[in-house]
Amino acid sequence: MVSLPIEERLAFQRSVLRLLAERSTEADVRRVMETDAGYDPDVWKALAEIGAVGLLVDPEYGGAGAGPLELELVMEAVGAALLCSPLLTSGVLAAGLLQALGDAEANARLLPGIADGSRIATAALTGSAGTWTPDGVAVRARADGEAWGLEGQASFVTHGQIADVLLVAAVEADGISVFEVDPTAGGVAVKPLPVFDHTLRLAQISFEAAQARLVGKRHAGWNAVEEALGLARVALAGEQAGGGRRVLEFTVDYAKNRIQFGRSIGSYQAIKHMAADLLVESESATSAARHAAAQLAAGAPDAKSAVELAAFACADAFVKICADAIQMHGGIAFTWNHPAHLYLRRARADAQLFGAPAFHRERYVAELEAAHG
């Protein structure tokens, strides 16, 4: 992975922002989230054409070969637009996992399709407990000669109902390995889960003697999973920072223009203080997300702690900004018809994805204790 000069990173972010301003309006989001697929194939194709889908994929396989810095900026634009798409799933988590596993044959076969958007891949990494830890893996692998079979269940699989390829973490005798599974194969059952946020699809996938192909080396799976989850958490932090900033923007605009008792509500001290607090939350989230991306890109010793900090700080900030924005809007924002409601649902869902804030706080403290004795 390489980092582009800052001017090129910002120019690429602007191109994504322009595309989503035209193709992911509030009306588009409401339309797409009610479809069975949960994403717009035409917008997905457009994102692939400008290089957003294959952003992390090595140029050898048709991608841009970019890194966390570029990813975080793109995801800020995605969060601001509340985009319904499998970008985080396929372009970040699955692509990152494949490249971390380092299986040349699997990469050559799968990554070109992921990069150009013609193939959607997802990763099934945790069971119903949703711990996102090795102990939470609820699928088991069994070798039968050269073949492998999977048994068990994976939950909270993002966009599992539309995936063409499943990358499944499974426990075998001496560790965790990652396997490729065809979701249409016998012994595989994909069940969409009820979701609080209709812009983000989750699935539960059951395996019963399902044929699987080992990807990468045996027993090295969880190290690769952690590497991919690090990228996904930086991407999610960027999405949360971008979404929070957008909510703050339209809330401040509302406070300026909403007249109550002959003056704009933004002129009242209580509203001013709330807006100032939300600005601090927004700027802090942006700083945390960008710092985590920078540390991860540099391979810094404190990269893991920076990612954990961003994971809980950005999640908390996004939820607070959305909840307080609804209060500042008053009764109108409590309705499903107002965009603040959509953003609050995304904030609540994002806060649980890849680990809840409390989980990341514990890991952050553990990293600090390990670093400082």
User: DSSP of 180-206, one letter per residue?
Assistant: EE-TTSTTEEEEEPP-S-TTS-EEEEE
The structure tokens listed for 165 are 């390829």
CATH T-level assignment (fold) for domain 223-372: Butyryl-CoA Dehydrogenase, subunit A; domain 3 (1.20.140)
pLDDT digit string (tens) for 95-131?
Answer: 999 999 999 999 999 999 999 999 999 999 999 989 9
Cα separation, 89 vs 95, in Å, equals 8
User: DSSP of 71-99, one letter per residue?
Assistant: HHHHHHHHHHHT--SSIIIIIIIIHHHHH
CA distances from 284 to 16, 158, 241, 250, 370 (A): 23, 27, 9, 19, 25
Closest CA to 76 of 240, 203, 190: 240
pLDDT of residue 330: 81
Q: Where in the chain is the domain with CATH 1.20.140.10?
A: 223-372
pLDDT of residue 258: 74
pLDDT digit string (tens) for 228-245?
Answer: 999 999 999 999 999 999
Cβ–Cβ < 8 Å for 204, 157: yes
Q: Where in the chain is the domain with CATH 1.10.540.10?
A: 6-120
Question: 122-219 has which CATH code?
Answer: 2.40.110.10
pLDDT of residue 66: 93
Helix count and strand count (H, E) for the chain: 11, 9
CATH H superfamily, domain 6-120: Acyl-CoA dehydrogenase/oxidase, N-terminal domain (1.10.540.10)
pTM, to two decimals:
0.94
3-state secondary structure (DSSP) of residue 369: helix
